[in-house]
Structure 1
């Protein structure tokens, strides 16, 4: 209930663009004993999703969405160093996002939470192209490539990247995870597009990414060229 009340106040302050009020609300929550990781997952993340929904439904102005995203990001930057730190482990994740502010915020928060959990995370943001991504993962060799916040118009580029990765087959143990954007709204699209995993939230992304290989959910394909066995090491898609 307390978090619900805080979210209502925080959302109102965001939509009016009141940076000082937003900072004060978050500081009050911290002073009341709310952990930074709870603020990430229970306040800022759901508000970020709600702002996106309001914007897509034309219930807020583009300027309100832009200001809210920037305020959220400034709050996240301040909270990052307050997150708990688990011992570092040799698990690596690379996060690439769509180029809009909302997507970059979601990707940054996800990276922060992966690092808090002990992962090594590299956040590429939304300014890299597919060739840049391929070059980076070739050198970094991540366990997970997480693509966040892409919309329907950007889905073909996501599919092209996945197809290229399958064709090259240089990283057979790397799992591709999708999150946010159109994949949150279109059920099963992540499977059809050729990804291995899907997560609705950052917390779920960490939980799924941390599962043993034998416990990972198997994607269900209905498009023939994307059907491949859960444990197969062979490429399953062809480049269009």
Structure 2
């Protein structure tokens, strides 16, 4: 059976992530970004690889340290790609993007924030573990058109 190209690419990226080779991961993504849009890259490569990292961790096939390293590498790469994310086309729309208090998984919502930016929005990415009171106050101050909140495990 022949694997779809993006599936093979996500598996290759996953192997680089698990090895902890930040430079190789960065080079891989930058090379792939020449062939795909950033949005496709996020969906077809990064998201799929990170889901697999999560499954490997859940099944005790990798350590928490390896999972954290993979996440750290991806966050660094997202920051590297930011120049390609900003759209020249700007619209008069604002979004506040945050993880709620006690939520530390911010990569997915960061990619959502980037997609808003790609579409000309002004995105205010607050990141992980945003205290609810501060999120409410910030939202009142900014008066966004949209509020995007992320949580993966709610207790």
Aligned partner of residue 126 in structure 1, secondary structure? strand
Distance 1:84 1:2 in 2: 27
Alignment of 1:223-238 (within 5 A): none
1:26 to 22, 26, 29: 29
TM-score by length of 2: 0.85
Q: Could you report, residue by residue, the CA deviation over 1:105-156 in whole angstroms, capped at 9, with x for unpaired residues?
A: 2222111111111112111112321110111111111122211133132xxx
Of the candidates 86, 91, 94, which is equivalent to residue 92 of structure 1?
94
Cα RMSD over matched residues? 1.9
The higher radius of gyration belongs to 1
Partner of 1:81: 83
Task: State the Cα deviation string for residues 204-236 of structure 1 (Å, max 9, x = none).
Answer: xxxxxxxxxxxxxxxxxxxxxxxxxxxxxxxxx
The equivalent position to 1:54 in structure 2, one of 53, 56, 59, is 56
* Runs of 4+, deviation exceeding 4 Å: none
Match status 1:17 vs 2:11: no
Q: Which runs of 5+ in 2 are unaligned?
A: none
Between 1 and 2, higher relative CO (CA 8 Å, sep ≥ 6) is seen in 2
Alignment length, in residue pairs? 150
Counting only pairs closer than 5 Å after superposition, residues 20-169 of structure 1 correspond to structure 2 as 20-31=23-34, 33-83=35-85, 85=87, 87-98=89-100, 99-100=103-104, 103-153=105-155
What SS is found at the alignment partner of 1:60? coil
Residue deviations 1:9-47, cap 9 Å, x none?
Answer: 11011111111221232233234x233332122211222
1:19-77 Cα offsets, whole Å, 9 max, x none, are 1221232233234x233332122211222233223323433210110000000111111
State how far apart, in whole Å, the 2-side matches of 1:41 and 1:80 are. Answer: 16
Partners of 1:96 and 1:84 lie apart in 2 by 19
